[in-house]
Amino acid sequence: MVSSPSLAPAPAAITIAVDCMGGDHGPRVTLTACRAFLERHPQASLLLVGTSAALGEFSHERARIVPATEVVAMDDPIEIALRKKKDSSMRVAIQQVKDGAAQAAVSAGNTGALMAIARYLLKTLDGIDRPAIAPQLPNIKGGATTVLDLGANVDCDAEDLLQFAVLGSALVSALTGDESPTVGLLNVGEEAIKGSETIKKASLLLRTAAKSNVLNFYGNVEGNDIFKGTTDIVVCDGFVGNITLKATEGVASMIVDFLKIEYSNGLFSKFAAIVSYPVLKALKKRLDHRRYNGAALLGLRGLVFKSHGSADDVAFGYALDRAYDAARNNLLDRVRARIAHAAPLLARPQSAAPADAASLHV
Amino acid sequence: MVSSPSLAPAPAAITIAVDCMGGDHGPRVTLTACRAFLERHPQASLLLVGTSAALGEFSHERARIVPATEVVAMDDPIEIALRKKKDSSMRVAIQQVKDGAAQAAVSAGNTGALMAIARYLLKTLDGIDRPAIAPQLPNIKGGATTVLDLGANVDCDAEDLLQFAVLGSALVSALTGDESPTVGLLNVGEEAIKGSETIKKASLLLRTAAKSNVLNFYGNVEGNDIFKGTTDIVVCDGFVGNITLKATEGVASMIVDFLKIEYSNGLFSKFAAIVSYPVLKALKKRLDHRRYNGAALLGLRGLVFKSHGSADDVAFGYALDRAYDAARNNLLDRVRARIAHAAPLLARPQSAAPADAASLHV
């Protein structure tokens, strides 16, 4: 649909900068994942950012240690992370992207701090007011649905939602090779007349964008469509997105808990659990959120990926892979190309421009 | 906390008006459920509303047929249901409540039409701007979390959310006998500084209400808290509520589908499925949405309960039971008492009053 940079073979050297100190487990998890990543991708290089004490013993011919003296804590306020810890591993990792030493950065640290630092150092792309966070969720088709925004922007207007749709389309194109992924607008019903004023306006903007071949708008979708895989991309504001994500995590873990309770309820059930072990293992694999780890921070002049804070080495490895795929498939060029194509639609009346940094609460 | 009407023994005769024509299955389901309901509750009476042709053969000493010549279709626009079908079974059932012939009405029909007709005939209570829909969702504690609003109001302000909290508290008190149920405000984080401007203001209002003993405010909660059962009541606007409900239904059915796929994947898995049958049946029962059927329409001068359109006779029976429990535990008096107690907080500047019927889109 949009003429995108082709899926060229990977350049000779893609380098990913890794904040090795971030997340609940720090280097114990990130370094294990980094070593496995280097084995999987013989052409990739890593910049391992962290304190010398924590990373000192790591050695690999395609990895280089970049020292940082500070660490952003998971509960650090954004202000502290941004203004006080200027030599944090998170910030130094993103600086590598800014300096062109790496094509993407990955961190499992504090989401709010990561977004704030990334935004401060890299700046948003022309035509984009607010960067968005775009994770992938599993769907019944066995694939993944990319949902954005998931937490960075609690108050969004229709133009923001259009921008998210453009950004999400570029991401899915880069990760899957599908140049025309479908976009759904999350709403309380499929009919165009339903929803808040913002949603109705966004629906109109998305229809116009589709007519101009800027993106492939399917129409309004409902909450269950995320898991049906009705569209490749689902667009919503960060408030709805965050609550939806957490609610679905909640219901999934409730079901798993119920299964555990029932399978341990009496001898026969325990026998059934043993017999069912392979089945339950396969179910667990299907639902394994680790496979979906690695959310893109989109709309910035550089690639940054957020891993879940509680990620283990397998999960962190998926985030590294996602960042690598995005970088070698030229995600940033794709985003720029799509924004250029969408430029006439993305322009908004000056008076309606949103307050810039007001919504970084998540 | 609030001095509520006591849980008096049921008055000699509680009568429920039933829209027997509503829902996907109509009288086949509703009449079966009504007969079982009458057996379960020897003191209850029913007014069965529908066309003579459909209900003609039903006979029970505590049931009376109230004829209606029209039926609101599941896809009828609200305007048609409200303005054209003035002798619909849905409308006649609600009219029974208005006339004092019944203490509550139950319908499985079109939600938007039901809310519009209920609001038109019964009117909202003083102090309430917008009625809300309050269903119950299962939680890991084995109980139910009452969530409102779930679809009636897409654009809500802070005062609306406070009203929902007052209404939900009265409902849970009536259904459980707990005079001080906990209220959570659905947000993107537990911290009071997070969220949209509306949420921050609502959080302040709810804190003030709690200090005045109007309700028992726990604080902000996140999406997963609905299913953890962190609070008895979760308050949100209808947009977020509807999307969250549908997303969680989506993820639950995805998990069940995955289980089915894995259990039919090869001979051994099929054997495991047979062995696991009792366990899976118990799981199904825990997740059985039928047990949670029957959402209250709150904030009106009369009790109306909405059954899911696809309800079978068991599910519809739960909706009847819920309406019966609410009526015999004086839900309407409880709502009035709580509103009176909250009156100083519920008053809002006249200029800020919301457009009255603008948001009945769901």
Dist CA A155 CA A158 (whole Å): 10
Q: Which two tokens stand for residue B310?
A: 């696809």
Distance between alpha carbon A325 and the CA centroid of its chain, in Å?
13
Dist CA A119 CA A109 (whole Å): 15
Q: Please identify which residue in the block is written with the tokens 């919301």.
A: B354
Q: Which two tokens stand for residue A313?
A: 């080495």
- Residue ranges, chain A, pLDDT below 70: 1-12, 152, 190-193, 268-269, 271-273, 275-276, 279, 286-288, 348-362
Element containing residue B235 per DSSP (H, E): strand B233-235
Contact (CB<8Å) A257/B139: no
Structure-model confidence comparison of residues B277 and B221, the more confident one: B221
Of B223, B258, B271, the CB nearest to A247: B223
Give residue A193's pLDDT.
Answer: 64
Give residue A221's pLDDT.
Answer: 94
Q: Please identify which residue in the block is written with the tokens 């950004």.
A: A167
Give residue B357's pLDDT.
Answer: 38
Which of A239, A263, A271 would you mutate first to test chain B, the one with the most B CBs within 10 A?
A: A239
Helix crossing, B238-263 with A238-263: angle to 10°? 40
Residue B85 — φ and ψ, nearest 5°? -100, 70
Report the DSSP pairing between strands A132-134 and A295-298: antiparallel
Strand order in the sheet with A132-134: A63-67, A44-50, A14-19, A104-107, A303-306, A295-298, A132-134
Helix (H, G, I), strand (E, B) or coil at A181: coil
Element containing residue A267 per DSSP (H, E): helix A267-275
* pLDDT 10s digits, B74-124: 888 899 999 999 999 999 999 999 999 999 999 999 988 999 999 999 999
Closest to B210 (Cα-Cα) out of B258, B166, B157, B271: B166
Give residue B356's pLDDT.
Answer: 41
Give residue B355's pLDDT.
Answer: 43
Distance between alpha carbon B355 and the CA centroid of its chain, in Å?
23
Which of A188, A281, A285 would you mutate first to test chain B, the one with the most B CBs within 10 A?
A: A188
* pLDDT 10s digits, B192-209: 667 788 899 999 999 999
Give residue B94's pLDDT.
Answer: 98
Please report how many Cα atoms fall inside a 13 Å half-sphere around the Cα of residue A168, on the Cβ side.
33
Give residue B361's pLDDT.
Answer: 35
CB of A104 closer than 8 Å to CB of A91: no
Of A197, A247, A287, the CB nearest to B248: A247
Give residue B229's pLDDT.
Answer: 94
Strand order in the sheet with B104-107: B63-67, B44-50, B14-19, B104-107, B303-306, B295-298, B132-134
ipTM of the complex as predicted: 0.78
* pLDDT 10s digits, A128-146: 988 999 999 888 888 899 9
Long-range residue pairs from B200-207, CB within 8 A, at least 24 positions apart, any chain? B201/B157, B201/B158, B202/B158, B202/B161, B202/B162, B202/B235, B204/B158, B205/B158, B205/B159, B205/B161, B205/B162, B205/B345, B206/B161, B206/B162, B206/B165, B206/B235
Q: A265 vs chain B: nearest CA distance in angstroms? A: 8
Strand order in the sheet with A233-235: A136-138, A144-148, A233-235, A182-186, A216-221
Does B111 lie at the interface with A, CB-CB under 8 angstroms? no
Radius of gyration of chain B measured on its C-alpha atoms: 21
DSSP string, A91-117: HHHHHHHHTTS-SEEEE-S-HHHHHHH
Greatest CA separation for chain B: 69
Q: A230 vs chain B: nearest CA distance in angstroms? A: 11
Contact (CB<8Å) A251/B252: yes
| Paired residues of B146 in beta bridges | B136, B233
Q: Does residue B277 have a pLDDT over 90? A: no
Contact (CB<8Å) B250/A248: yes
Give residue A10's pLDDT.
Answer: 47
Contact (CB<8Å) B250/A271: no
Dist CA A259 CA A282 (whole Å): 14
Give residue B189's pLDDT.
Answer: 74
Average the pLDDT over B296-302 and give the result: 95
Dist CA B237 CA B243 (whole Å): 10
Closest to A333 (Cα-Cα) out of A13, A15, A3: A3
Dist CA A295 CA A316 (whole Å): 11
Q: B24 vs chain A: nearest CA distance in angstroms? A: 18
Per-domain residue ranges for chain B?
A: 14-247+284-352
User: How open is the CA angle B177-B183-B187, to the nearest 5 degrees?
Assistant: 155
Which of B198, B279, B287, B310 would you mutate first to test chain A, the one with the most A CBs within 10 A?
A: B279
Does B133 lie at the interface with A, CB-CB under 8 angstroms? no
Q: Which two tokens stand for residue A21?
A: 């100190």
Contact (CB<8Å) B273/A279: yes
Q: B263 vs chain A: nearest CA distance in angstroms? A: 6
Q: A247 vs chain B: nearest CA distance in angstroms? A: 4
Does B354 lie at the interface with A, CB-CB under 8 angstroms? no
Give residue A359's pLDDT.
Answer: 38
User: A220: nearest CA in chain B?
Assistant: B243
* pLDDT 10s digits, B63-85: 999 999 999 998 888 999 999 99
Does A120 lie at the interface with B, CB-CB under 8 angstroms? no
Contact (CB<8Å) B255/A287: yes
Of B154, B196, B275, the CB nearest to A154: B196
Looking at residue B84, the DSSP 8-state letter turns out to be: I
DSSP string, A105-160: EEE-S-HHHHHHHHHHHH-BPTT-SS-EEE-EEE-TTSSEEEEE-SSS-SS--HHH
Give residue B321's pLDDT.
Answer: 96
CB of A216 closer than 8 Å to CB of A210: yes
Q: A139 vs chain B: nearest CA distance in angstroms? A: 7
Dist CA B171 CA B148 (whole Å): 11
Give residue A357's pLDDT.
Answer: 38
Q: Name the pLDDT band for B19 (thresholds 50, 70, 90).
A: very high
Dist CA B165 CA B160 (whole Å): 9
Contact (CB<8Å) A252/B253: no
DSSP string, A300-361: BSSEEEE--TT--HHHHHHHHHHHHHHHHTTHHHHHHHHHHHHHHHH---GGGPPPSSTT--
Q: Please identify which residue in the block is written with the tokens 């010549």.
A: B69
Distance between alpha carbon A147 and the CA centroid of its chain, in Å?
9
Name the CATH superfamily for B14-247+284-352: Isopropylmalate Dehydrogenase (3.40.718.10)
